[in-house]
Structure 1
Amino acid sequence: MQNTPLNAADFEAIEDTLLQYGDDHSVLNPCELDGYFTALVSGPAQVDIAEWFPGIWGGENPAWETPEQCRQFIDLCVRHINTLAEQLTNAPQAFKARFEQTEHQGQDLLLAEEWCFGYLRGVAVGNWPEMPAPQVRTLQLIIDCAEQDNFELPADLNLDQHRQQVAAIEPAARALHAYWAAQR
């Protein structure tokens, strides 16, 4: 069960839990959580659950209604982390970030801001050290996307430029994982 990829119902349970217990300092949705976990499994060292779990909640664990609810959430998180680690290690080209989808001016559009914000949270919790310039530039692609405000897309959004920026995120995540994996 610890290595079974999550299904739609699992992600819905994660989202419900994040909404129930989250606040302005916590991970807010499954997309952000996916970015967070991607950075955690990609970094220079394994991060213990005692560090990454409170990081979901902004440093403070929630006051769970029941121990079972906490166990279920942890199980879903561990399954997803294991899936990401397995995928990035053994089939990196199959890695797909969990981006949000929206419609803008009648066209489908992927939004990567929250995923990237979660990734940067994972970089911070993983305490990544300085990297060489090529890896810094790669991480900058994620940083730049995290700094966008996609809550209200501007009417004059350059769709081609936006799509190119989002398309660069998954290769950047793969490259950073490969860099740190070679250092371990």
Structure 2
Amino acid sequence: MQNAPLAANDYEFLEDALLKYGDDNSVLNVSELDGYLTALASGPVQVDIAEWFPAIWGGENPDWQSPDEAKQFIDLSVRHLNTLAAQLGTDVQAFEPRFETTDHHGQSVTLAEEWCFGYLRGISVSNWPELPAQLAAQLELIAQCAEEDNFELPANFDANQHNQQLAAIKPAAIALHDYWVTQR
């Protein structure tokens, strides 16, 4: 059960806890947490939970309402990290980044900004060394998306360009994971 995918109610619990205990320095939502944990699962070294867990909260663990609540959040986070590692390592077809969606002029638009921002946060905690040029270009695809401000899409939003950018993120994350696996 340590790497069984999370259920909808598990994601709801995580989202609620992030909203309840988070601040401007913490991971804001499940999409960002998914990107963060994906980078941790993908990096050159395994990062100890004593380092990566407080980083979710901007460096300081929350003052949990109860020990059970803290344990459940930790357990679900570790389980999701293990699931991502298993998917990226042996079942890449099952790997799907948890992007957000928004409504734009009556149409649903997928947004990856928060996921990409979380991914960069995970890289920072993992202290990734410099990448070869081809892989640095893959990482740049993710970094560019993290820099976008999608809180309000512009009136001249180009859906085709946006979708091309989104389509490049998953293969980039897989390529980065695969590279670091060979370096471990």
| Deviations 1:61-111, CA, capped at 9 Å, x for gaps | 111111111000001001100100000000113210000012212222110
| Deviations 1:46-73, CA, capped at 9 Å, x for gaps | 0110010011001111111111110000
The TM-score, its normalising length taken from structure 1, stands at 0.98
What value does the CA root-mean-square deviation take over the aligned residues? 0.7
Q: Structure 2: how far apart are the matches of 1:94 and 1:182?
A: 21
Equivalent AA in structure 2 for residue 83 of structure 1? T
Structure 1 spans left out of the alignment, 5+ residues: none
**2:144 paired residue number:** 144
Matched residues, percent identical?
66
The TM-score, its normalising length taken from structure 2, stands at 0.98
Q: Structure 1: how far apart are the matches of 2:171 and 2:90?
A: 15
Q: Structure 2: how far apart are the matches of 1:74 and 1:93?
A: 26
User: What is the DSSP-based 3-state SS (H/G/I as helix, E as strand, rest coil) of the residue aligned with 1:101?
Assistant: strand
Q: Which runs of 4+ in 1 moved over 2 A?
A: none
**1:16 paired residue number:** 16
Residue 123 of structure 1 and its aligned partner are, at CA, apart by 0.2
Residue 135 of structure 1 and its aligned partner are, at CA, apart by 0.7
Q: Structure 1: how far apart are the matches of 2:8 and 2:79?
A: 14
Residue 13 of structure 1 and its aligned partner are, at CA, apart by 0.2
User: What is the DSSP-based 3-state SS (H/G/I as helix, E as strand, rest coil) of the residue aligned with 1:109?
Assistant: strand
**1:172 paired residue number:** 172
Structure 2 spans left out of the alignment, 5+ residues: none
